[in-house]
A = this chain, B = another copy of it.
Amino acid sequence: MTLLLSNDEVDGLLQMPDCIDAMEQALRAFGDRRAGNAGRCEILTATDRPDALYSLMSMNGVVPDLGVAAVRINSDILTWPASERGIKRVKVPSAPNGRYVGLVLLFSTATGEPLAIYPDGVVQRMRTGATSGLAAKYLARTNASVAALLGTGWQAGSQAMAICAVRGIERIHCFSPRQDGRQAFAAEMSAKLGIEVSAAATAREAVRGADVVLCATNSMQPILPADWLEPGMHVSSLKRLELDPSVVAAADRVITHSRNADAPAQIIRTDGADLARDSDLEKAALARAIDEDALPTLADIVLGRAAGRAHDRDITLFLNHTGLGYQFAATGALIYRRAMERGVGRKLDTDWFTSALPS
């Protein structure tokens, strides 16, 4: 049968340390050319609403070592509202019951069959967190104990989980512009992680003295000036625009998740789809900042093909700006194995999703 899982079920099955292990195994396979990633494929078209676009996005990955292939699909209504902090890309939950449409389809590389279908909400942030965690495992000082977390949204939670999974973190100082938001996040994560998570009054205060600085905002403006960096820090970033180019220049070692050349994105905009400005801004910022295609990748580090941290005083920087399909295959293998072990999920007839006809 084919398993149908909900976000809540996926959440109960995925533990961050397991995710980091699975991600490492998949990334090794990718680096050794046993696994394959396709870049993000996105089509943007106009809609009946002048302020919205429709976006169909897919991202594929195959990891035979884990026995699975994954297709992640997003079908979204997107808007770009202006705020005082810039223009942001915002998904509008327009599906019935005010819901979002993001799916992962998991297939067997041994038989081709569909193993599982589940929403991408939980896994989307777990895979991002696990990738940052894997980078920190290889790049952060082994005695790192204090982390700063800039951003207290959905992605920030998994960044906190991930750093705690790979280092003996004792305290996290978090910051985001809204006081109530950062305080609620601090309380929630303290309880969840069992360590001290406190809300700092400013970003400067959060960063000062930290061993690891995790940037997890969707800011359109740089949030971390280079003169806040301290010797020995490990920094990671989820969005290009949140990172000032001077930070890149100041780091001793800069590692990217993936070179664009390894899995080039294919972005197609039809006429009328010119609202998609954040991509343009991101690209421009990237061009200003650094050529990521010239950097060593996380796979290079994990496989020992590029040098990571050489000294305790080095400043290391990990650019987690690009998603890859292998991340969904790695987490998918884990979700499927755990779900089968525990009997979780709705069992659908696999014949529903297969065919007696070739095609």
Using Cβ atoms and an 8 Å threshold, which residues of chain B touch A97? Answer: 350-351, 354
Contact B268 A99 (CB under 8 A): no
Does any Cβ of B come within 8 Å of A101's Cβ? Answer: yes
Which candidate, A105-113, A193-201, A228-236, A245-253, is the interface stretch facing chain B?
Answer: A105-113
For residues 36 through 74 of chain A, which have their beta carbon under 8 Å from a beta carbon of chain B? 36-39, 41, 43-48, 54, 56, 58, 60-62, 64, 69, 71, 73-74
Which candidate, A88-96, A205-213, A300-308, A336-344, is the interface stretch facing chain B?
Answer: A88-96
Contact A107 B112 (CB under 8 A): no
Does any Cβ of B come within 8 Å of A314's Cβ? Answer: no
Q: In whole angstroms, how far apart are the Cα atoms of A219 and B10 in the complex?
A: 46
Does any Cβ of B come within 8 Å of A119's Cβ? Answer: yes
For residues 318 through 359 of chain A, which have their beta carbon under 8 Å from a beta carbon of chain B? 325, 346, 350-359
Contact A356 B99 (CB under 8 A): yes
Contact B64 A46 (CB under 8 A): yes
Contact A75 B124 (CB under 8 A): no
Does any Cβ of B come within 8 Å of A122's Cβ? Answer: yes
Using Cβ atoms and an 8 Å threshold, which residues of chain B touch A354? Answer: 95-97, 99-101, 119
Q: In whole angstroms, how far apart are the Cα atoms of A122 and B359 in the complex?
A: 8
**19 residue pairs bridging A and B, Cβ less than 8 Å apart:** A7-B356, A33-B271, A35-B270, A36-B44, A43-B62, A43-B69, A45-B64, A47-B110, A56-B60, A75-B113, A94-B112, A95-B112, A95-B350, A96-B351, A99-B356, A100-B112, A102-B358, A103-B114, A346-B352
